[in-house]
Structure 1
Amino acid sequence: MDDDFMVAKVHSGYVGRIEGCTVVGVAHTGADAVEQARELRPDLVLLDVYLPDMSGIDVLRALRTGAPDDPSVLVITAADDAATVAAALHGGALHYLVKPFDSRALSEQVERARRLRGRLAGLDRAGQEDIDRLFGAGSTRLPKGLTGETAALVERVLREHGGDLSATECAEQTRLSRVSARRYLEHFVDTGAAQVHLRYGGTGRPERRYTWAR
């Protein structure tokens, strides 16, 4: 939701182009956002802070009641002061994007919200590893044989590349062996920090391609 009609239209267009996503409603006031969320039960709400009738932080608190079916909330705003960011964090926002941002940044966070909901839906009981992944702490608990310094190097290369990388390409940029690069890449996939897809072509096994997901 956004009080600016044109901005709301642009952001709706971004979301509408993400595969598997549907825009179910658009609101331009805080009260309308709360009402629509209760009626439409969306999985994710895009929320501005500056609204004509109330603060977006108050809307966030109204939406995040603690119920299992509460929508995830992604704050998208021009507000960049630390107090507002802290209020959004403590209010339960999934993430916080400062305007202006591009469609890719928004797409990454929408995909993240979808992954989190999928993981929660697939759990009966949660082990510590499951909880670490949900809360984004998995990448700080490295498996035996992996180091924080090298993990940070692989993360930086994957983040800054902008597209997808194979283990071989990552090894070339980090000066690691292909086997070592792949171990770190697969660790990031396991913790939800990276995504992997298969590229088919020619003969032999399909190539695994990695993309930073956060």
Structure 2
Amino acid sequence: MREVLVVDDDFMVADIHRRFVDRIDGFHTVEVAHTGAAALDAARIVRPDLILLDVYLPDMTGLQVLQTLRAEGDPVGVIMITAARELDTVSGALDGGAADYLIKPFEFEQLRAKLVAFAARADALGADRGIDQNFVDTLFGHAHTSGDSPPMPKGLGAETARLVLDAVRGADELSAAECADLVGISRVSARRYLEHFLTTGAVGLRLQYGAGRPERRYHAV
């Protein structure tokens, strides 16, 4: 069981992330922190396997937390989870050795995919085996070196998927209904494609609140 430290200054968001983590097989939230100082203290005491780390904290940035951990020689896995979209923030996360980066708001399946990938990499690196190029390519996220895209889920076509992605990339953001009109498919079909790309990280999601249920607005990432 991999132990996870959840760090977010928003108590409600932190609790949502905690509950998400505890739904994923092989992962368990061992501690929740709401400041950078508390995150560092918890990391030193509980020694988690993974930290879900927000960038915007009240006393320091998540990047500073990450830098402090690395300066102390702590190799703990870190996934940055934040609303920050600035390129320098992403660059800083990569430079600090973050394992991944997930932009808010996100859904359970997106987080699950990130944690499953993290566990697969950790298991591969911990295995007593030799390496070859396929092994290295898989670790570094280049398993599809032939240029082929990952297989589509049953019922989704590659050509329509390309049209849906083109529609998303050609707009600042859009709803499933707007995407359906642009591509010439049903709203239900458009929603299926958009949700697939949401789980793969090809598109992001913003919930637009108003009267009734929030509208799901998709954008390219």
Fold equivalence (TM over 0.5): yes
Change (3 A) 1:82 1:174: closer
Question: Per-residue deviation at 1:100?
Answer: 0.7
Name which of 51, 55, 58 aligns with 1:49. Answer: 55
Question: Per-residue deviation at 1:22?
Answer: 0.7
Conserved 8 A contact 2:110-2:200:
no
Any idea what SS the aligned residue of 1:63 has? helix
Q: How does 1:1-214 map to 2 (within 5 A)?
A: 1-64=7-70, 70-140=75-145, 142=146, 148=147, 151-152=148-149, 155=150, 158=152, 161=153, 165=154, 173=157
- Residues in 2 aligned to 1:213 and 1:71: alpha-carbon distance in whole angstroms: 24
Q: Which amino acid aligns with 2:112?
A: S
Question: Per-residue deviation at 1:138?
Answer: 2.7
Structure 1 alignment gaps of length 5 or more: 143-147, 176-211
Question: Per-residue deviation at 1:17?
Answer: 0.7
Percent of aligned pairs with the same amino acid? 43
Q: Which amino acid aligns with 2:21?
A: V
Change (3 A) 1:125 1:47: same
Number of positions where the alignment pairs a residue of Structure 1 with one of Structure 2: 156
CA deviation map 1:74-118 (0-9, x unaligned)? 111111111111111221111111111111111110111111111
Q: Which amino acid aligns with 1:110?
A: L
Structure 2 alignment gaps of length 5 or more: 1-6, 160-198, 202-221
- Residues in 2 aligned to 1:66 and 1:38: alpha-carbon distance in whole angstroms: 10
Using structure 1 for the length normalisation, give the TM-score: 0.65
Using structure 2 for the length normalisation, give the TM-score: 0.63
